[in-house]
Structure 1
Amino acid sequence: MSLRYHIVQTALMTALVFMAVPAAAEDVLLTLTGAVTDGRVEMTRADFDTMDWHEFSTSTSVTDGRPEFRGVLMRDALAHAGAEGSSVRATALNDYVVDIPVEDFHRFDVLAALYMDDVPLTPRDKGPVWIVYPRDNHGVLADIRYDMRWVWQLVALHVQ
């Protein structure tokens, strides 16, 4: 059999495989577990789009200047998931884990940021979700304890 035959056969088989696979559901950006509705809530971009969006500029310990961040308030994301707890265990793609008091999200307008300087966040640049505190609006947020709570590449929250 010729090389051309193998190329055509491979192309046909690939086409059949893709036709048999259903279109993927919208990607889950954030999974909430624990004390949430039904014990698990998976949030997609469409879920975030149903909430009010907020933006602010602030300095960070890992960027230059004062980038502008846009996203939804963390307290709104928790309310969307029916969360009832006093803390969340935030987990990043790289398995970084930190516990954050839910009180932070009510005391400060902390964002689940999906954009920085009008550019969608991706895993290459701290996304798709980054917990961002309004650091320049509250002097106390310059404390290292709060820096540890800025979780980039956030993928999961376990509500406790």
Structure 2
Amino acid sequence: MSTGYLARLLTPLLWLLIAPPHVQARPGDEAGPVAQALPAPTGDVILTLGGDITRTNVGGEAHFDRAMLKALPSRVIETHTPWHSDRGRFEGPLVRALLEAVGADGDCLHIQALNGFEARAPRSDFYDHDVILAMSRNAEPLGIRDYGPLFVVYPFDAHPELLTEAVRFRSVWHVIRIIVP
């Protein structure tokens, strides 16, 4: 095996190891930030993000399986919701962590549910409060009958001011897609 062949084979690997994962654009740059690819899902895709995002893994979208979502910074929210008769212990990734993982840039999110329901939520909701994309309730994975597999949960008990019609409308369950316009 020749040295030239080895160099051609190893050079791309070397670049992957030493290149910065994300480079910010400098003023005057035409191309903008360099996009960093997300890892590809290895399990069933349960969430797709699209729109104004810089990190993708399938075409121009970011596809997430359950393991990828569990790897994001998460929270536990113990709260009542308008749809449950008792207080629940919801757990899942912070929506803001998801937005940061895909390099989302936009003032709102367009959240789509499995049944065709759609809601728009201001990005500020997810930075002003620890809103999660709940994957479990009381340590049980959320199934379709339980508002899952993903459910936008606001910390209603910790912030009673969130119990408004507008915020209830943004608490989408059966979430399958988020678009950042």
TM-score tier, shorter chain, comes to 0.7 to 0.9
Q: Quick one: which of 101, 107, 112 aligns to 1:91?
A: 112
Secondary structure of the residue aligned to 1:36 is: coil
Aligned-partner Cα distance in 2 for 1:57–1:139: 13
Alignment of 1:111 onto 2:111: no
Q: How does 1:8-157 map to 2 (within 5 A)?
A: 25-37=42-54, 38=56, 39-157=60-178
Aligned partner of 1:140: which letter?
Answer: E
Question: Higher helix fraction: Structure 1 or Structure 2?
Answer: 1
Show CA shifts across 1:87-134 (max 9, x none).
Answer: 010000000001000100000100000000110011221111100000
User: By percentage of residues, which structure has more strand?
Assistant: 1
* SS of 2:170 mapped into structure 1: coil
Query: Greater relative contact order (Cα 8 A, min sep 6): structure 1 or 2?
Result: 1
In the TM superposition, residue 139 of structure 1 has moved relative to its aligned partner by 2.2
| Superposition CA RMSD, Å | 1.4
- Output the CA distance in 2 between the equivalents of 1:27 and 1:78: 20
TM-score for the superposition, normalised by structure 2: 0.73
State the SS of the aligned residue for 2:162. Answer: helix
* Aligned-partner Cα distance in 1 for 2:79–2:50: 29
After TM superposition, which residue ranges in structure 1, 4 or more long, deviate above 2 angstroms? none
Alignment size in residue pairs: 137
Unpaired segments of 5 or more residues in structure 2?
1-41
1:63 and 1:147 map into 2 onto residues whose CA distance is 13
1-structure distance, mates of 2:109, 2:84:
25
Q: Percent identity?
A: 34
The residue identity in structure 2 corresponding to 1:29 is I
Q: What letter is aligned with 1:50?
A: A
